[in-house]
Amino acid sequence: MRVHTTDLLTVSEVAHRSGFAASALRFYEREGLLSATRTSGGQRRYQRNVLRRLAFIRAARNVGLSLEEVAAALATLPDRRNPTRADWTRLSRSWRGRLDDQIAALSKLRDGLDSCIGCGCLSLKTCAMSNPGDRAAMAGAGAGHLPRLLRRP
Ligand code: FES
């Protein structure tokens, strides 16, 4: 399919319409999540459907997917095309359990917060904030035993 140059969007147009900063667009391109062509002057130009891809990236990040996971999800699309409604349904279905786990982990954290505001113990063994549910007690001391969703850097 032939793409007319008037169908192409500039960085600022994409940034304005997607809500992502221009630096984020450059970053996602470097990471292989987006692609852009260049004008003869070296300026980036994006096809309009990049907006759908960016909406997908934002939704996936909101669910808590890492950049690598977003890239892996996009890589399951044939020919690396942009996600359709059906793709979104398929991919997002598998994220429901993940959201349930996050909600459960955050609920545990909130319950710990109720009992520890200002306590400051940060005990590796018994802290309700760094060790909610005392998970580490089952496997030894250390934050490495926290639920994965609460170990984000
Ligand atoms: S900081 Fe309050 S229980 Fe650890």
Average pLDDT of the residues of the chain: 82
One-letter amino acid for residue 80 of the chain: R
Based on the fold, state whether residues 76 and 139 are members of the same structural domain: no
User: Given the CA of residue 116, which atom of ligand 1 is nearest to it?
Assistant: 2
Whole-prediction pTM? 0.70
Based on the fold, state whether residues 59 and 129 are members of the same structural domain: no
Based on the fold, state whether residues 84 and 103 are members of the same structural domain: no
Q: Ramachandran region of residue 20, left (φ > 0), alpha (ψ -120 to 50) or beta?
A: beta
Q: Alpha-carbon distance 108 to 53, whole Å? A: 34
Domain CATH number, residue 42:
1.10.1660.10
Residues with CB under 6 A from ligand 1: 116, 119-123, 127-129
pLDDT in tens, 67-120: 999 999 888 887 767 788 888 888 888 888 888 988 998 888 888 877 777 788
pLDDT of residue 94: 82
pLDDT of residue 133: 67
Flag whether pLDDT at 65 surpasses 80: yes
Over residues 114-137, mean pLDDT: 74
Based on the fold, state whether residues 75 and 22 are members of the same structural domain: yes
Based on the fold, state whether residues 61 and 110 are members of the same structural domain: no
Based on the fold, state whether residues 74 and 105 are members of the same structural domain: no
Based on the fold, state whether residues 83 and 34 are members of the same structural domain: yes
Pocket test for ligand 1, best of 109, 110, 114, 122 (most atoms within 8 A of CB): 122
Tell me the sheet residues that pair with 38: 44
Flag whether pLDDT at 57 surpasses 70: yes
Flag whether pLDDT at 135 surpasses 60: no
Based on the fold, state whether residues 101 and 90 are members of the same structural domain: no
Contact (CB, 8 A) for 95 and 65: yes
pLDDT of residue 109: 83
Distance (Å) from CA 39 to ligand 1 centroid = 56
Q: Which of 47, 68, 94 corresponds to the end of one domain?
A: 94
Based on the fold, state whether residues 89 and 101 are members of the same structural domain: no
Residue ranges making up the domain that contains 43: 5-94
Number of domains in the chain: 2
